[in-house]
Structure 1
Amino acid sequence: MPVLKLNKTQRRKLSIFAKCIIFSFLAWALFAISNDYVFTVKSNVQYVNVPDSRAFHPLQSDTVSVRLQAKGWQLLFTTLQATTQTIQVDLSGLERRNWIVFANQLGFINRQFPANQRVISVSPDTLYFDFSKQTERKVPVKALYNLQFSKQYDVIDELRISPEYVTITGPLEDVVQIEHWETDTIRSAAVKNDIHTIAYLKQNQRANINVYPTSVEVDIPVGEITEKILEVPLKAENMQRFSSVKLLPGKVKLTVMVSLRDYTKVTSNAFEAVVNMDDWADNDISSLPVIITQMPKFCKLVKIEPQNVDFFVRR
């Protein structure tokens, strides 16, 4: 392949030409990002100043399109943002009517954006709401956690949460569907001691539901655990259609992880192992799987030996 050879003068001219191209591009880019542009961004809606006496259902999505006027460089940064902007909407007007008009709140919304950005309009311009009777209910708190334990350590007892219940208020048809309220996930690494922390409740995904209080105290008991092997008698369930059933073997060996604190308390009487005779009668399987139907909380089952057992039946 021929190689283009340039003398010193030609190389200098080529260098000057390349610099002119680069400078022209930079000048154009500077001019472009200095101009004003109108662009649209998606925003989530957060309702504020909700009337205490009225429970409401939004009749549209909680996402709106906001038309903004801003400089080109702001448009570039907005495009690169991974998070969605959230705008607050004042619902105090719902005391007198069932709709909110964004055009009447542009001043309030503009104050939520930088001074060099201006909100021109929001689509849809009108939000409609349906109203129902306000009610309240107490539901239990469910603490979520994702802990990385030191070797041979784990949760050894039930979590203690204070308060155990929180009060939720909102429309009756929504409140009755909520069975519990979760906390933000508690995270920690190399855990080998009890954890005492303040956990905030998950942010409300429904604007028409309020929760109180917004945080709880959570105690997670952590201790050293060890392995324990137990022999548990095996029982047959659903054997009414047979005169007798003999299982081979009649016991199974369970390997469990248990805390050192409760090592002597955990006995074979705390476990129940069964086989379901319907598995053979209905599915004609040759050996029955062992099912653990009862075991102490925070005992972790490691292994069952054997996992399947043979049997003899007499009709």
Structure 2
Amino acid sequence: MKKNLSGIIFSFFVSVIIWISITLSGDYYITLDLPLKIINLPKGYATGGRIPQTVQMKVKATGWKLIGLYFQSDREYFVSMNRDSMMSQINLMNSLSENSWLPSSINVVEFFPSKIDINVERSVTEYKKVEAVLDLVFESGFGLAAPVKITPEYVRVTGLPSVVAKYPSVKTNNIRLEGLKESKVIEAGLLVTNQLAFYPEKVKIELDVQLMVDKEFTDVPVIVRDVPPDRDVQLIPERISVSVRGGIDKISALSPDMIKAFTIYNDVVADTTGFIIPSIEIPPFTDVTIIKPEKIKFIIKKY
């Protein structure tokens, strides 16, 4: 019985292999989405026009060939430009020779779009600030303890003057990180466009992630600023307690003289309630959580 079962299983797998082999020997069609890349631009020139980021290429080949093509990495469709084609309508089918990654056994049926309009003009180069596009999810009790650091802070951007002028800054690709509970250094690519060239094309992003803690500072003096020489403002009480939250390393380095409580004389005069709420100055990337008392009585004296 066991021998018969083993024979049946063996026969089944052999049949499946034969069926797959026969099936994949037939011709099939697939459509690939390929990033479009312009190459061989004359030095000092850039591309303009409505250039798509990707093109669709419909191909025909045997199943075996298509499987290898489908899983091939770093597929891009290259279109070559030169000084003789400053403004051209490019037929994508004419650029097949530029794409050596495409096997001759693959029959390219059509492209969508089939043609693209590209104009080549003198370029300009400027340096633009990089903005990190981040979606950060922290573990409970953790957060950013310092500004996000990007290296380099500025990148070189080359393109047509009208296009470069539209970009006050350069954004990275969107990056989502979850479960953050420690500092991280990551590499991020820039949000690419066929109308601009970036150098470098990637930046380093440093995230200072720390455990968030609270610390109370007592006996913080409240100062009234911009008091006229013939006036005096008496506060009741003159000192308050301030609780501050931030990264554990930053909070542990705070000293009482780094916490400033104040109000402005004109704001005191304009008050009609008899109480003022002091403003608090604290180091960057820290937050005030509690002020005790929240309101302070005042008396204005004239000399």
For this structure pair, what is the TM-score category when the shorter chain's length is used for normalisation?
0.5 to 0.7
Partner of 2:195: 208
Match for 2:102 among 104, 113, 121? 113
Describe the superposition over 1:64-112 as per-residue Cα deviations: whole angstroms up to 9, x where unpaired.
Answer: 2212122124445767x69894322222366443222223212223x12
Which one-letter code corresponds to 1:175 in the other structure?
V
Partner of 2:230: none
Matched, 1:178 2:164: no
Shift of 1:214: 3.9
Residues 222 and 31 (structure 1), Cα distance of their counterparts in 2 relative to 1, 3 Å cut: closer
Question: What is the DSSP-based 3-state SS (H/G/I as helix, E as strand, rest coil) of the residue aligned with 1:92?
Answer: coil
Equivalent-residue separation in structure 2 for 1:152 and 1:19 (angstroms): 56
Equivalent-residue separation in structure 2 for 1:68 and 1:131 (angstroms): 30
Question: What is the DSSP-based 3-state SS (H/G/I as helix, E as strand, rest coil) of the residue aligned with 2:162?
Answer: helix
State the number of aligned residues.
270
Residues 106 and 152 (structure 1), Cα distance of their counterparts in 2 relative to 1, 3 Å cut: closer
Matched, 1:90 2:76: no
Equivalent-residue separation in structure 2 for 1:247 and 1:70 (angstroms): 86
Native 8 Å contact 2:150 2:203 kept in 1? no
Partner of 1:51: 42
Equivalent-residue separation in structure 1 for 2:256 and 2:205 (angstroms): 26
Partner of 1:38: 29
Native 8 Å contact 2:221 2:238 kept in 1? no
Match for 2:55 among 64, 89, 94? 64
Equivalent-residue separation in structure 2 for 1:307 and 1:176 (angstroms): 51
Equivalent-residue separation in structure 1 for 2:237 and 2:142 (angstroms): 34
Describe the superposition over 1:203-252 as per-residue Cα deviations: whole angstroms up to 9, x where unpaired.
Answer: 342112112234567777788985322458599xxxxxxxxxx9999967
For residues 241-280 of structure 1, what are the structure 2 equivalents within 5 Å? 253-257=242-246, 259=250, 262-264=253-255, 267-269=258-260
Equivalent-residue separation in structure 2 for 1:256 and 1:95 (angstroms): 61
Equivalent-residue separation in structure 2 for 1:273 and 1:71 (angstroms): 79
Native 8 Å contact 2:89 2:116 kept in 1? yes
Which one-letter code corresponds to 1:295 in the other structure?
I
Equivalent-residue separation in structure 1 for 2:123 and 2:241 (angstroms): 55
Matched, 1:128 2:117: yes
Partner of 1:104: 94
* Contiguous gaps of at least 5 residues in structure 2: 225-234, 268-275, 298-303
Once the two structures are aligned, what percentage of the paired residues are identical?
16
Question: What is the DSSP-based 3-state SS (H/G/I as helix, E as strand, rest coil) of the residue aligned with 1:32?
Answer: helix
Residues 92 and 256 (structure 1), Cα distance of their counterparts in 2 relative to 1, 3 Å cut: same
Partner of 1:281: none
Question: What is the DSSP-based 3-state SS (H/G/I as helix, E as strand, rest coil) of the residue aligned with 1:137?
Answer: strand
TM-score normalised over the length of structure 1: 0.59
Equivalent-residue separation in structure 2 for 1:273 and 1:115 (angstroms): 78
Native 8 Å contact 1:170 1:208 kept in 2? yes
Native 8 Å contact 2:45 2:121 kept in 1? yes
Equivalent-residue separation in structure 2 for 1:268 and 1:174 (angstroms): 46
Shift of 1:202: 2.1
Native 8 Å contact 1:234 1:251 kept in 2? no
Residues 29 and 297 (structure 1), Cα distance of their counterparts in 2 relative to 1, 3 Å cut: same
Match for 2:156 among 144, 163, 167? 167
Partner of 1:137: 126
Shift of 1:51: 3.0
Native 8 Å contact 1:44 1:84 kept in 2? no
TM-score normalised over the length of structure 2: 0.61
Native 8 Å contact 2:158 2:196 kept in 1? yes
Which one-letter code corresponds to 1:303 in the other structure?
T
